[in-house]
Chains A and B, each alone.
Chain A
């Protein structure tokens, strides 16, 4: 069966609906990110990211997205934002940092965009 048969959702621009299809695709990546709840895991990853990614069985696409710290690529590879937030936390990136990265804006411009939503 083609895996895309699980995609029941009509497209929303700029939005990935994290459903069963994405959950299957990103399982190893998300499991690694879930482990980052623990401080020891975070230290182990930083000491040797390649070995740590191998331990969780990440595929090449997922590994490259981690090396690049590229959030859109991490999402495309099946990453779920709630778990990816823990990956971002390792590098002290907050939700405005990753918002700016995904939208191709500076952090200041991204924060201004958020502020303007209140006007």
Chain B
């Protein structure tokens, strides 16, 4: 049977992709951020997962406002990062796991999560940057597992509630654990933490709220479901709503987890950057 080993969280800021491309790992601005990753890579080296469920939010590459899915699940053989408007270097495709995707899609709809299935899905920095952070050289890293992208809408309100995001994760856990073949799975929750790019409040970062979220998500994620969506916009910033991805990830880890690693740094680009490794407890 498939088994979830743990959850990884990270910010997925586009500037990180450029910093990786330019090898700025020891640059004084970037070092405190990149130093948050080697302990997680060591854990991945030890456990060698077969599959990464990559929960991210599309930023206007895979989806437009003509049709905006609240929850979309990739069901493709491979995923390509395409030009997002600034001509970033194109990478070879990331291999998918469509047979697992369809099992998850069947199970989620059975559990009354009416999702959008995607046999083609261009993936943006939200998907790619985390893969590169956890598996350096990705997609050229031979240890990089196959992946399934799951995107939740944070582009246009109404966005999902924090409770719905956590419940999605819980259903995702049942879906993965019912997959009949032996698979070691990690779940990535990417995005955030606090940031706001638009409006007179651009540049808003809320360290106290970020640290509250990083604390509560370990042992008491239910407490975070009390936060309303407008409260999330107010406290995390307009784009800090990406924290929903972390809630989806956390739901998939079961009741009890152990925090193996945590890092928080301000600022990376306009954002409070959070990194965590949460290991599932049998």
Q: Which residues of A contact B (CB under 8 A)?
A: 9-10, 12-20, 23, 27, 30-31, 33-34, 36-39, 42, 71-72, 75, 80-86, 89-90, 94-96, 98-99, 102-103, 110, 113-115, 117-118
Complex Cα–Cα for A34 and B270 (A): 22
In the complex, which of the residues A20, A27, A118 contacts B265, with contact meaning CB atoms closer than 8 Å? A118
Cβ–Cβ < 8 Å partners of A37 in chain B: 60-61, 82-85
Q: Is B182 an interface residue (CB 8 A)?
A: no
Smallest CB–CB gap between B231 and chain A, Å? 10
Smallest CB–CB gap between A28 and chain B, Å? 11
Smallest CB–CB gap between B27 and chain A, Å? 15
In the complex, which of the residues A42, A89, A117 contacts B272, with contact meaning CB atoms closer than 8 Å? A117
In the complex, which of the residues B86, B156, B203, B234 contacts A103, with contact meaning CB atoms closer than 8 Å? B203
In the complex, which of the residues B82, B155, B199, B239 contacts A75, with contact meaning CB atoms closer than 8 Å? B199
In the complex, which of the residues B158, B200, B238, B272 contacts A81, with contact meaning CB atoms closer than 8 Å? B238
Q: Is B23 an interface residue (CB 8 A)?
A: no
Q: Is B201 an interface residue (CB 8 A)?
A: yes
Cβ–Cβ < 8 Å partners of B84 in chain A: 37, 86, 89
Cβ–Cβ < 8 Å partners of B269 in chain A: 95-96
In the complex, which of the residues A14, A81, A89, A98 contacts B85, with contact meaning CB atoms closer than 8 Å? A89
Smallest CB–CB gap between B220 and chain A, Å? 25
Interface secondary structure of A, over-half rule: helix
Cβ–Cβ < 8 Å partners of A9 in chain B: 157, 230
Cβ–Cβ < 8 Å partners of A72 in chain B: 199-200
Interface secondary structure of B, over-half rule: loop
Binary interface encoding of chain B residues 237-252 relative to chain A, with 1 for a CB under 8 A from any of its CBs, else 0: 0110000000000000
Complex Cα–Cα for A118 and B29 (A): 13
Complex Cα–Cα for A24 and B238 (A): 19
Q: Is B44 an interface residue (CB 8 A)?
A: no
In the complex, which of the residues B66, B156, B202, B207 contacts A18, with contact meaning CB atoms closer than 8 Å? B156
In the complex, which of the residues B66, B86, B157 contacts A89, with contact meaning CB atoms closer than 8 Å? B86
Q: Is B196 an interface residue (CB 8 A)?
A: yes
The answer to whether B230 and A10 have CB atoms under 8 Å apart is: yes
Q: Is B59 an interface residue (CB 8 A)?
A: yes
Smallest CB–CB gap between A44 and chain B, Å? 14
Complex Cα–Cα for A84 and B61 (A): 12
The answer to whether A117 and B156 have CB atoms under 8 Å apart is: no
In the complex, which of the residues A13, A39, A102, A118 contacts B267, with contact meaning CB atoms closer than 8 Å? A118
Cβ–Cβ < 8 Å partners of A38 in chain B: 83
Complex Cα–Cα for A14 and B200 (A): 4
The answer to whether A118 and B207 have CB atoms under 8 Å apart is: yes
Given A81-B198, A89-B85, A117-B205, A30 contacting B65 (CB threshold 8 A) = yes
Q: Could you list 19 examples of A-B contacts with CB < 8 Å?
A: A9-B230, A12-B201, A12-B233, A13-B201, A14-B200, A15-B198, A18-B238, A30-B65, A33-B60, A37-B83, A42-B85, A80-B65, A85-B59, A86-B84, A86-B85, A98-B197, A103-B203, A117-B266, A117-B272
Within 8 A of A (CB), among B77-130: 82-87
Cβ–Cβ < 8 Å partners of B197 in chain A: 81, 85, 95, 98-99
